[in-house]
Amino acid sequence: MTKPAPKDWILAISPYVPGKSAADDGRPLVKLSANENPLGTGAAARAALVAATADLATYPDPGAAKLREAIAAAHGLDPARVIYGTGSDELLHIAASAYAGPGDEILYVRYGFSVYDIAARRVGATPVVAPDADYATDVDALLAAVTERTKVVFLANPNNPTGTMTSREEIARLHAGLRPDILFVLDQAYAEYLDGDEDDGGLELARTASNVFVTRTFSKIYGLAAERIGWGYASADVIDVLHRIRAPFNVTTAGQAAAVAAIKDTAWVEASRAHNREWREWLAGEVASLSNHGLRAVPSKANFLLILFDGKLTAEAAMKGLWDEGFATRWLPGQGLPNGLRITIGTEDQVRKVAAKLRAMAEAA
């Protein structure tokens, strides 16, 4: 029987695998599998969101004027050059669609964010993966992998799922080494977790360079993952192009209002950042103390740790053991990391329980 035939390149896509929040038997789990804010949403953002639901019959502001202004004010940017998306995912997809297609290459580093592969394949472009350097970005390897067909380079900084950080100098060196006709998408989904002096200079670069697109999200430190709001910054030309293919009314009224309140609530952001830093470093220390059992945490600047299991306790067994304890974590065989388990930094109580379980499992293995 004839039926609609999808493009070959669409059939080659492996669907995005979201982090789970419940066991298959329906038992709820503490979700440490999707890098959300364990402290939740700030009160101001929540109140703004609720107030904005008073009118549900009218479309949202299509130009998201207040949201763009709030973002621009917070970062010293030109509001006209801020674009917004249904999560930063939408922005990654439209960047790939606008600048690459069949016959083109989209380049990123091994263990890069899994959406880059989907974004490339969706538009029929070829994903090209450059080797990493011990799980971190190898700028020389990325530059060496550029060909005349390269149209877009994606780099997450800090990176997911590794948590590794590429320094400001290395970002500048990468950008300087790319042809100006290549769009450099610097995905800063976790940038708010950095201390000020760790900033990679991406927004500064995007202010002046004609080929840099920085993306950010309200899904992580701002605690608004449910609302799906991302934003990006680039030259006026790039922003003009991206607006042409962004979905109309792509950020809801409640989402816009909540995001405006969240970006102004610097106390909530600071508290979330400080909590994350403290418990990430604490958990990293616990993992380091299990190195004799083959556990190692990749150095992270984000709100999660990638733990590598190279002893008797495997990542899969650790994931299952934590599952039985009530914690969903992210085992990563599909991303080429069968020995890797990514764990979001939770509340103090959650992190302590996770560490205790890891220790018990490692010592019993």
Identify which of residues 257 and 362 has a Cβ nearer to ligand PMP in the complex.
Answer: 257
- CA 220 – CA 260 distance, rounded (Å): 15
Residue found under tokens 């930094």: 345
Query: What mask of x and - would describe binding to ligand PMP in positions 19 to 38, judged by CB under 6 A?
Result: ----------------x---
Look at the chain and count its residues.
Answer: 365
Is residue 329 involved in binding ligand PMP (CB under 6 A)?
A: no
Identify which of residues 211 and 217 has a Cβ nearer to ligand PMP in the complex.
Answer: 217
Identify which of residues 268 and 314 has a Cβ nearer to ligand PMP in the complex.
Answer: 268
Q: Which residues contact 350 (CB under 8 A, 6 or more apart)?
A: 30, 32, 38, 327
Instruction: Using CB positions, name the residue nearest to ligand PMP.
Output: 87
Q: Which of 109, 189, 306, 319 touches ligand PMP by CB under 6 A?
A: 189
Identify which of residues 290 and 341 has a Cβ nearer to ligand PMP in the complex.
Answer: 341
What is the nearest approach in angstroms of ligand PMP to the Cβ of residue 4? 28
Q: Which of 163, 202, 230, 321 touches ligand PMP by CB under 6 A?
A: 230
Is residue 217 involved in binding ligand PMP (CB under 6 A)?
A: yes
Is residue 255 involved in binding ligand PMP (CB under 6 A)?
A: no
For residues 45 and 258, the answer to whether their CB atoms sit within 8 Å is yes
The region of 84-92, 139-147, 256-264, 308-316 touching ligand PMP under the rule CB under 6 A is 84-92
The region of 87-95, 119-127, 176-184, 309-317 touching ligand PMP under the rule CB under 6 A is 87-95
What is the nearest approach in angstroms of ligand PMP to the Cβ of residue 217? 3
- CA 34 – CA 27 distance, rounded (Å): 18
Residue found under tokens 């801020």: 82
Query: What mask of x and - would describe binding to ligand PMP in positions 121 to 160, judged by CB under 6 A?
Result: -----------------------------------x---x
What is the nearest approach in angstroms of ligand PMP to the Cβ of residue 229? 7
Question: Where do contacts with ligand PMP occur on this chain (CB under 6 A)?
Answer: 35, 87-89, 113, 156, 160, 187, 189, 217, 219, 225, 230
